[in-house]
Amino acid sequence: MHEKLFTPGPTEVRTELLQQLSTAQIHHRTKEFSIIYDDIQKNLRKLLFTDNPVLLFSSSSTGAMEAAVTNGVKKRCLNFVNGAFSDRWHQITKKNGIACDKIEISWDQAVKPELVEQKLQTGAYDAITVVLNETSTGLMNPIKKIGEVVKKFDDVLFLVDAVSGMAGTEIRVDDWGIDMCLAGVQKAFALPAGLTVASVSEKLLKRAETVDSKSYYFNLPLLYKYHQRSQTRTTPAGPQIFALQKQLDYIVNEEGIKNRFERHQKMAEYVQNWALEYFDIYAEEGYWSNTVTCIENNRGINVDRLISQLVEQYNVRIANGYGDLKNKAFRVGHMGDLTLVDIKGLLSVIEDILSL
Ligand SMILES: *Cc1c(COP(=O)(O)O)cnc(C)c1O
């Protein structure tokens, strides 16, 4: 029996989208493929409010995170770390031998624009990495305000991991000055994993031309060259591309981008109010995520037991706290194509199980 996913990725995928995966293969050097590519491109630009090209990576998000730093950093990178995924980005930067520093703040606190300004004023950095939505803590960083700061520094690139936010919360790539905005499709896009999308600015592409990137697979200038022909450079994850095309058409033309964001907002508010009534919320107030809530286990419940009871009795799955927060918190994903009805159902069975 299928378990319905309320995990913060991978997320529940609608049957119609699963069916798209079994579309007969087409060759990726054909006109037919380019038509699909262009259609995806048009809708991704609408979703991200950008004129920048949006490249497709046949990898999970981590690959695009690696591409961002290997192509975008010439001098030194500053990794802002306030959760597991922003920490991963620092590890990726280090592992690739790129000059970098990390600035770590408490995981329940947001990255504040003032801190970014203070660090950039040193003149030491030509790129920063920030995670939009820390999936490990349910915290959303103020990317728009950070972008306003980064704009004051002409030579600094703003690299943003938007993995669990994109397609669930508003991101205005051009207005906010984001040079690379990346996301795997297995989170708020509600698609099977295996594909990542990333907008890249002209400034980043120019920088990439001058950086001696050691990566062959994740070379942005080469990826961009094929993008200009409405193709991917290497054989793409075909099934996911068929599904992405259909889902983007649904998001843009059926549900509507604004309605989609409002639906996420409503689900988030419902979960947040519920969490405050029975537990507490881990992240500092004012920065709660629109797509995942990390609920502090201040009642000392057995989180693993709750998860298995939800699976065994109701065929639904939520997530334990991430890393150090295991058992000290649990996470409810409210992203993708889930609805308020789904969320109300989930929370009411949690109430039953825990006799709240
Ligand atoms: C899930 C996630 C990742 C890692 O994604 P993969 O697709 O597994 O590589 C990175 N950053 C954030 C914020 C995530 O939620």
Q: Is the pLDDT of residue 213 over 90?
A: no
Same domain for 162 and 184: yes
CA-based torsion, 203, 205, 210, 211: positive or negative: positive
Q: Is the pLDDT of residue 106 over 90?
A: yes
What is the rounded average pLDDT of the residues 22-33?
A: 97
Residues within a 6 A CB radius of ligand 1: 9, 60-62, 85, 131, 135, 161, 163-164, 184, 187
Q: Is the pLDDT of residue 118 over 90?
A: yes
The domain that contains 114 carries what CATH number? 3.40.640.10
What is the rounded average pLDDT of the residues 155-159?
A: 98
Residue 294 lies in a domain: yes
Same domain for 271 and 248: no
Residue 159 lies in a domain: yes
Same domain for 146 and 269: no
pLDDT at position 149 is: 98
Q: Is the pLDDT of residue 215 over 90?
A: no
Same domain for 157 and 188: yes
| pTM: predicted TM-score of the whole model, two decimal places | 0.98
The domain that contains 332 carries what CATH number? 3.90.1150.10
Residue 129 lies in a domain: yes
Q: Is the pLDDT of residue 1 over 90?
A: no
Protein residue whose Cα sits closest to atom 12 of ligand 1: 163
Same domain for 61 and 198: yes
pLDDT at position 80 is: 98
Report the separation in Å between the CA atom of 30 and the middle of ligand 1, taken as the mean of its atom positions: 32
Protein residue whose Cα sits closest to atom 10 of ligand 1: 85
Same domain for 196 and 96: yes
Residue that terminates a domain, selected from 254, 287, 306 = 254
Residue that terminates a domain, selected from 254, 282, 302 = 254
Q: How many CB atoms lie within 10 A of CB 297?
A: 20
Residue 17 lies in a domain: no
- Name the residue of 56, 79, 85, 107 whose CB sits within 8 Å of the most ligand 1 atoms, as the mutation to test its pocket: 85
Residue 18 lies in a domain: no
pLDDT at position 309 is: 98
- Name the residue of 7, 58, 59, 62 whose CB sits within 8 Å of the most ligand 1 atoms, as the mutation to test its pocket: 62
pLDDT at position 35 is: 98
What is the rounded average pLDDT of the residues 13-41?
A: 97
Q: What is the pLDDT of residues 278-332, one digit of tens each?
A: 999 999 999 999 999 999 999 999 999 999 999 999 999 999 999 999 999 999 9
Q: Is the pLDDT of residue 166 over 90?
A: yes
Same domain for 162 and 97: yes
Residue 114 lies in a domain: yes
Same domain for 146 and 73: yes
Residue that terminates a domain, selected from 254, 276, 291 = 254
3-state secondary structure the chain: CCCEECCCCCCCCCHHHHHHCCCCCCCCCCHHHHHHHHHHHHHHHHHHCCCCCEEEECCCHHHHHHHHHHHHCCCCEEEEECCHHHHHHHHHHHHCCCCEEEEECCCCCCCCHHHHHHHHCCCCCCEEEEECEECCCCEECCHHHHHHHHCCCCCCEEEEECCCCCCCCCCCHHHHCCCEEEEECCCCCCCCCCCEEEEECHHHHHHHHHCCCCCCCCCHHHHHHHHCCCCCCCCCCHHHHHHHHHHHHHHHHHHCHHHHHHHHHHHHHHHHHHHHHHCEECCCCCCECCCEEEEECCCCCCHHHHHHHHHHHHCEECEECCHHHECCEEEEECCCCCCHHHHHHHHHHHHHHHCC
Report the separation in Å between the CA atom of 184 and the middle of ligand 1, taken as the mean of its atom positions: 7
Residue 203 lies in a domain: yes
Looking from the CA of residue 62, the nearest atom of ligand 1 is 9
Share of the chain above pLDDT 90, in %: 98
Protein residue whose Cα sits closest to atom 5 of ligand 1: 61
* Domains of the chain: total: 2
Report the separation in Å between the CA atom of 85 and the middle of ligand 1, taken as the mean of its atom positions: 7
Q: Is the pLDDT of residue 202 over 90?
A: yes
Residue 239 lies in a domain: yes
pLDDT at position 212 is: 85
pLDDT at position 214 is: 82
Same domain for 149 and 274: no
Report the separation in Å between the CA atom of 63 and the middle of ligand 1, taken as the mean of its atom positions: 10
45 annotated as belonging to a binding site for a ligand: no
As a whole number, the mean pLDDT across the chain is 97
Report the separation in Å between the CA atom of 135 and the middle of ligand 1, taken as the mean of its atom positions: 8
How deeply is 277 buried, as exposed, middle or buried, from its count of CB atoms within 10 A (0-12, 13-18, 19+)? Answer: exposed
Same domain for 275 and 153: no
Same domain for 159 and 74: yes
What is the rounded average pLDDT of the residues 185-206?
A: 98
Report the separation in Å between the CA atom of 356 and the middle of ligand 1, taken as the mean of its atom positions: 33
Q: Is the pLDDT of residue 209 over 90?
A: yes
Reported as a pLDDT band with limits 50, 70 and 90, residue 271 is very high
User: Which residue range(s) make up the domain with 165?
Assistant: 24-254
Same domain for 141 and 227: yes
